[in-house]
Structure 1
């Protein structure tokens, strides 16, 4: 192979690494010389600097060069399916255990013993497979049980708290903001009393409307007119106190809009904004996973479901994406069909395509710099 052909092949392989292209995982692995680790092209770890990357035709070649296998993507194939199976069975055990014994603490050491892994290994592997820690998974299950009790109308807030296995009233109120987006009583009453302010503004992707509470964004959508978007906001929060606000009247609000425009115009590599939305435990799991996906990458609904330890939940992942009311801040545009086809975006397939092209261009620009 000539030097030119070698350079062309390396450029092609680097593009596959940048795109997290899982279809190339049988073709090569790449080593990161600064960390001493080698990975599959589809590995979800932080993108390394190009100058620190070396490509290998096989795992044996990478190992012979003194590199060790990545513990996230398991490029040496060390029982990857068996490990995922162990974690999925552990998830089913946790669900069944909390169903029959909601007060059970499910300590990490006990879960590790059941999975026949060390606590540290379980913590790391569980997060890699499911997307959250064992403790966060338990918290999500308990919060989901609590919300079902409230929604059913059969329990008052205090009874629902203890029925879900919480040891004190204060504990559930501490978790309510991050896991429900509202306090328990607000949730039970359909958001009554929650104050939402909004502002419409033009972006590189069209007219958008941002709605926010004092704790973060609760609405970010694109549309044809401000009236249409305000109507959608009221449908989403029918019992909230909703009022227009000029962006300049709030430094925080103006900062969010500046960040959005910077991202949409390609001046910012990614978007990190506070989000304050209602969610089930599964929706929250999906949305948090999407927020951790690097800009410029895509995964299929099935791949997301598998990463969450729910391999048969591809349709549920699709529903969670369709339920997202905070575009961009929860980047559901990064989920595509298994064929790679760009489709299924509530704000338009063409807008989704443009967002992905913009992100990939930004990533390519940063790696070339």
Structure 2
């Protein structure tokens, strides 16, 4: 572990300000040189202090700047370049799949936001897909359609929840297709906010291929926090995007199924379904 001192933390805070104020993201070498550290040591120190890498921090800041600029710039192109992306394809590539609900919205339980939803059936029962203007904020399973809106409302207690119309048909069809064939590509914007640690866990989960299983310890080691096994389990429990963030692929160290927010039986069915798809 890199040794954290007040001086080293101050260096990283200064680097964060550098990233935030730069028109284009500075390179690791530039940041390390400004701190008078080697790139290797600076990278380790930055991740230790901030919880994410310098590149991840820069990407997150650019995405936030992009969304903010969309509300103030006269054209989307101006917003893209003012955010420092350099091209529209890069901006949409980085922002499309961000976990993007702002922390202030999340802390306020989405107060003032309108969340639309659509409900459909699948082989796991009933599924609700809830969306804001930014993207999908929740995917939940249930045994009957009547109970599902309350699950979303509980997640975002101060949001205005209303049933969507035909405009959500293709969206929920895409989600159901992904549930049925999880190895397929999915091009859907996500709008969900977590802590830096939760995002690291969720990103690690999305790297686990269909048909595979990992333990909480495996994920903890993968994100560089081998002692944070319990926190990994809590991050899995906090997941709002069933299947897209595949927390069902996490099992106990002995291979036995552990808890699942939407029921252990659904977890078993999902793992069995993915295993069968691999055998076809």
Q: Settle same-fold status: TM greater than 0.5.
A: yes
Distance 1:315 1:351 in 2: 22
Listed as ranges, the gaps of 5+ residues in structure 1 are 1-87, 143-169
After superposition, the C-alpha distances for 1:141-170 in whole angstroms (9 at most, x for unaligned) are x9xxxxxxxxxxxxxxxxxxxxxxxxxxx8
After superposition, the C-alpha distances for 1:325-348 in whole angstroms (9 at most, x for unaligned) are 110111111111111111211111
The aligned counterpart of 1:10 is: none
Q: Cα–Cα, structure 1 residues 205 and 178, in superposed 2: closer, same or farther, change >3 Å?
A: closer
Which one has the largest radius of gyration? 1
The aligned counterpart of 2:69 is: none
Question: Are residues 1:336 and 2:255 paired?
Answer: no
Summarize the alignment of residues 322-361 of structure 1 with structure 2, pairs less than 5 Å apart: 322-361=237-276
TM normalised by structure 1 equals 0.54
1:226 Cα deviation from its structure 2 partner: 2.5
1:228 Cα deviation from its structure 2 partner: 2.0
Distance 2:7 2:172 in 1: 44
Distance 1:206 1:185 in 2: 34
The aligned counterpart of 1:231 is: 150
Summarize the alignment of residues 74-153 of structure 1 with structure 2, pairs less than 5 Å apart: 88-89=1-2, 93=4, 97-98=8-9, 102-104=13-15, 105=18, 108-109=28-29, 111=32, 114=37, 117=40, 133-136=53-56
TM normalised by structure 2 equals 0.70
Summarize the alignment of residues 1-369 of structure 1 with structure 2, pairs less than 5 Å apart: 88-89=1-2, 93=4, 97-98=8-9, 102-104=13-15, 105=18, 108-109=28-29, 111=32, 114=37, 117=40, 133-136=53-56, 181-183=100-102, 186-187=105-106, 189-246=108-165, 249-250=166-167, 253-266=168-181, 269-270=183-184, 272=186, 273-365=188-280
Distance 1:95 1:297 in 2: 42
Q: Cα–Cα, structure 1 residues 233 and 187, in superposed 2: closer, same or farther, change >3 Å?
A: closer
Q: Cα–Cα, structure 1 residues 134 and 295, in superposed 2: closer, same or farther, change >3 Å?
A: farther
Listed as ranges, the gaps of 5+ residues in structure 2 are 20-26, 62-81, 84-90
Q: Cα–Cα, structure 1 residues 95 and 363, in superposed 2: closer, same or farther, change >3 Å?
A: farther
Q: Cα–Cα, structure 1 residues 314 and 193, in superposed 2: closer, same or farther, change >3 Å?
A: same
RMSD: 3.8
Contact 1:300 1:336 in 2 (8 A): yes
